[in-house]
Structure 1
Amino acid sequence: MQTLSKEMTFKNFINNEWIDSSSQETVKSISPMNKEEIVGYIQNSTKDDLEKAVRAAHQAKKAWRKLGQAQRGQYLYKAANILEENLEDIAKTMTKEMGKTLPEAKGETARGVAILRYYAGEGMRKNGDVIPSSDKDALMFTKRTPLGAVGVITPWNFPVAIPIWKIAPALVYGNTVVFKPATEAAVTAAKVIECFAQAGLPEGVLNFITGSGFVIGQGLIDHPLLNGITFTGSETVGQGVAKSASARGIKYQLEMGGKNPVIVTKDADLDAAAEAVISGGFRSAGQKCTASSRVIVEQEVYEAFKEKLIQETEKIKVGNGLKEGIWMGPCASESQFNTVKKYIEIGREEGAVLVSGGKVLTGEEFDKGFYLTPAIFDKVTPDMTIAQEEIFGPVIGLMKANDLEEAIEIANNTKFGLSASIFTTNIGSLLEFIDEIEAGLVRINAESAGVELQAPFGGMKSSSTGSREQGEAAQEFYTSIKTVFIKG
């Protein structure tokens, strides 16, 4: 790991050197559990710093591509081992910096290790196919060729898993990377990059730069030397990525959130459904793009399910995620805290009934942090703001449906289409749901949140654009197909 100053200042990693920004300015990362606690300082980088990072990646791409896929995979194995050795420290940093509980942070970091090992294994898998030619004396085959230098822009809610599931396939398939994390989780991201640095990657292959979205994020999106952009974040910024990348004719990959429904049918196991809705809606304080936010319940079991949901939700212990027994931590930042409070107020104003939680926690333990209790709204209608806009917080809206057909219609009534789940014991209902739901991730008798690293991940409609992430599907974005014809 970096040799840190007393102020825990983390530098940019450019061309295999940890360097200060040319601005000589830093930005502090504060803990959402206690806004007086500084987790560390990161660089407030400039356009000149970005230029150095992009040029380093651009100059390194030819040699990295020529190294060979198997050899590239070996670097990921090394990085995985180093990340595993530092799992405890990185998980604690994540909890301090963005608030999720320590068990969740450990689980996410372990997932990062698994993702690295998965893509390290890709180094020994095929990268093309032999295709029969109409000419019997010819050989025809395809091979995958890397894009070149790619920009990676990630959010704060999964500061280990999301960067790794973008960076690992980019590297093993032969691309070089310039990585910009969200400022709110940049200290955690820096510690992840230290693991890659210790793995001994060649100069310029992986570059890490921190700074504002306006300067560094937009600069990456617009830079002419980058051959692809992968982005996870808000829909507004994602649309800007698409516009810029399309204008330059480069590949782009976007994941822009969701408004994920859970349908509970009249024949469902209500205990299992309530448990999954709570986990899917309130783990990580609801700050997951796949989090459950709309719960659509058939009218015959609506009241019984609501009672179970409220009863179990009110058992949730909110507090400092480093403490034993804490189930939910704070919102990740003051900005997100204020956003969630705003949506709770909008819900009330539009006629939804707050039947549980949604209260700011006060007292010595809470006054310096961004804590509130998980909120459940009743009498939510499909046209309400809280039923249409992504809140990205611990807020669930209950909606009543007359039957499964109406429930699916309500579920699809949104511009998003990332994930969706249903709880039912009727095979006909689950098959209808699979066919009719407009979502990229469909889960049966399981929470809407969660995706396995070996499976494609992405959504429909405004949730995603471009090819899927994770699993073998990642190859579709990070490579192009080259068809080769050899005449004997």
Structure 2
Amino acid sequence: MPEPKQNYVNGEWVAAESGDTVDVTNPADTTEVVNTYHYGGESDANAAVEAASAAQGEWADMPAPDRGAILRETGAILEERKEELTELLTREEGKPLSSASGEVQRAIDIFYYYAEKAYDFGGTVKGASGGRTSVSTRKEPVGVAGLITPWNYPIAIPAWKMAPALATGNAVVLKPATQAPGPALELAKALDEAGAPDGIVNVVVGSGSSVGTTLTDSDDVDAVSFTGSTQVGLQVYDAATDDTKRAQAEMGGKNPTIVTDSADVDEAVDIVGVGAFGVTGQACTATSRAIVHTDVYDEFVAGITEYAESLDIGPGLDDPGMGPHVNEGEFESTLDYVDIAKTEGATHEFGGDRVDEGDLSDGYFVTPAVFSDVTPDMRIFQEEVFGPVLAVTEVEDFDEAIEVANNTEYGLSASVVTDDLAEAHEFVDRSESGVVKVNEKTTGLELHVPFGGYKQSSTNTFREQGDAAIDFFTQTKTVYMNH
């Protein structure tokens, strides 16, 4: 049996002080242990924070283009290893190879993007009110950033937190999710090989209650960035801000797609189908509600049911239409919500069945589920499922569609399918979501524009990605120079 993979602290690969380990199994075949990892605790996290704190000042003093060069080389290393990273991601997290490949490419692109943004790192010059005086601003790193990332995008989300933090002169301590930590450790390996100084990048696999809590509570951590569930995100945010740390949390979603009476129904079916069932619905931006005008409702329900029935299900390594759930907890949660929807009176059109025969008997497979006649008071309408379950609701007109779409505590992503330009603009104006799309699925994000939600989908402090990420990981100093 291979040796357990170690954590990365202060430029070295080290075992957990406790000696504890955790197995990561293939969600498509739970009899296969993909990797075993050292499972760190509070002492390991403290060592990582101490290393980051000691190294950060020298990293901040390095010219920004030199930091960018290290990020650029990191991107090149990841690009060389794209195929093996893709397979690792699929085997640990379960998503189909094509989706995993796209995610790895996104991580590559993020490092290339922030490598170039490092050249622009600086400030602005402002006009002064008096003569022989200049006024300017400069951006400086916050310090040490604690990063807590989820399992569903195990290389893209660590990349979009790490790259802007490093580009702007911060040191980082990353706690990846234990269900799929391998890709995050591979990021650390690539950064190490690219020349990142010791202590600037640290990755500790461990629990939220030990490693995560250390990051939120340590006096040497200056900023905390979290992505995950709303329940945990609010706890992380409250703990981090108790001692005035800078903090952000991007959390859950219950994302709607409105289908208007002017929509091309076949197009709407494709948009909703990909958004609802892609990556097994395990995305915070997944389409979980379709809100459909009564004139096209029956046609849409028939179409989306046929779409769900047509999806092939299988191991991610076979690149099927839909892969497994990541673990038993997520698997059982989806099955529970299917039962809840039936009990509450939604019409069960298709799916939501456990697949436990043949080659799929040892995996966490569920057929994609479609429920129609869903009303806003149902849990299947209001609560995040995080699985391939679509709730379809009928509305009489566009105003009702907007009202129904906004009728949730979440506000992450929303879309509309329409051929009416006025409706498109009205939707953009009135949707209570941080990301709005017209004639596009709710999933899928550009890396150079801000990302974040409204309401319980975000702490609404800072956005991620693009220039917004640079804002989070920096603080502004205003300089008055009399001469």
Q: TM-score range by the shorter chain?
A: over 0.9
Counterparts of 1:53 and 1:479 in 2: how far apart (Å)?
21
* Secondary structure of 2:316 counterpart: coil
**Cα deviation, residue 46, structure 1:** 1.9
Aligned to 1:19: 14
Aligned to 1:9: 4
What aligned pairs does 1:460-471 form with structure 2 within 5 A after superposition? 460-465=454-459, 466-471=461-466
Q: CA RMSD in A?
A: 0.9
Aligned to 1:313: 308
1:122 is the counterpart of 2:123: no
**Cα deviation, residue 366, structure 1:** 1.2
CA contact (8 A) 1:39 1:187 kept: no
CA contact (8 A) 2:416 2:437 kept: yes
Aligned to 2:74: 79
1:42 is the counterpart of 2:37: yes
What aligned pairs does 1:305-454 form with structure 2 within 5 A after superposition? 305-324=300-319, 326-454=320-448
AA at the equivalent of 2:61: K
Query: Which one of the candidate residues 106, 112, 122 is aligned to 2:107?
Result: 112
User: Does 289-298 or 117-126 show the bigger shift?
Assistant: 117-126
What aligned pairs does 1:78-97 form with structure 2 within 5 A after superposition? 78-97=73-92
Counterparts of 2:392 and 2:3 in 1: how far apart (Å)?
44
User: Structure 1 residue runs of 4+, over 3 Å off?
Assistant: none
User: Does 187-196 or 32-41 show the bigger shift?
Assistant: 187-196
Counterparts of 1:360 and 1:468 in 2: how far apart (Å)?
38
CA contact (8 A) 2:121 2:168 kept: no
User: Does 296-305 or 354-363 show the bigger shift?
Assistant: 354-363
* Secondary structure of 1:244 counterpart: helix
Query: Which one of the candidate residues 442, 450, 454 is aligned to 1:456?
Result: 450
**Cα deviation, residue 188, structure 1:** 2.4
Aligned to 1:3: none
Runs (5+) with no aligned partner, structure 1 = 1-5
Q: Give aligned-pair identity as a percent.
A: 41
AA at the equivalent of 1:437: S
Counterparts of 1:118 and 1:428 in 2: how far apart (Å)?
35
* Secondary structure of 1:365 counterpart: helix
Counterparts of 2:414 and 2:435 in 1: how far apart (Å)?
6
CA offsets per residue over residues 180-236 of structure 1, 9 Å max, x none? 000001122222221112112101000010111111112211111100000001111
Aligned to 1:174: 169
CA contact (8 A) 1:29 1:187 kept: no
User: Does 189-198 or 39-48 show the bigger shift?
Assistant: 189-198
Counterparts of 1:120 and 1:155 in 2: how far apart (Å)?
24
Counterparts of 2:262 and 2:340 in 1: how far apart (Å)?
33
**Cα deviation, residue 154, structure 1:** 0.1
What aligned pairs does 1:202-281 form with structure 2 within 5 A after superposition? 202-281=197-276
* Secondary structure of 2:375 counterpart: coil
CA contact (8 A) 1:8 1:40 kept: no
Runs (5+) with no aligned partner, structure 2 = none
Change (3 A) 1:144 1:233: same
AA at the equivalent of 2:400: E
* Secondary structure of 1:38 counterpart: strand
**Cα deviation, residue 13, structure 1:** 0.4
**Cα deviation, residue 7, structure 1:** 2.2
TM-score w.r.t. structure 1 length? 0.98
Query: How many aligned positions are there?
Result: 482
CA contact (8 A) 1:101 1:329 kept: yes
Counterparts of 1:348 and 1:222 in 2: how far apart (Å)?
43
* Secondary structure of 1:464 counterpart: coil
CA contact (8 A) 2:248 2:462 kept: yes
Aligned to 1:201: 196
**Cα deviation, residue 127, structure 1:** 2.2
CA contact (8 A) 2:356 2:363 kept: no
CA contact (8 A) 1:14 1:52 kept: yes
AA at the equivalent of 1:162: I
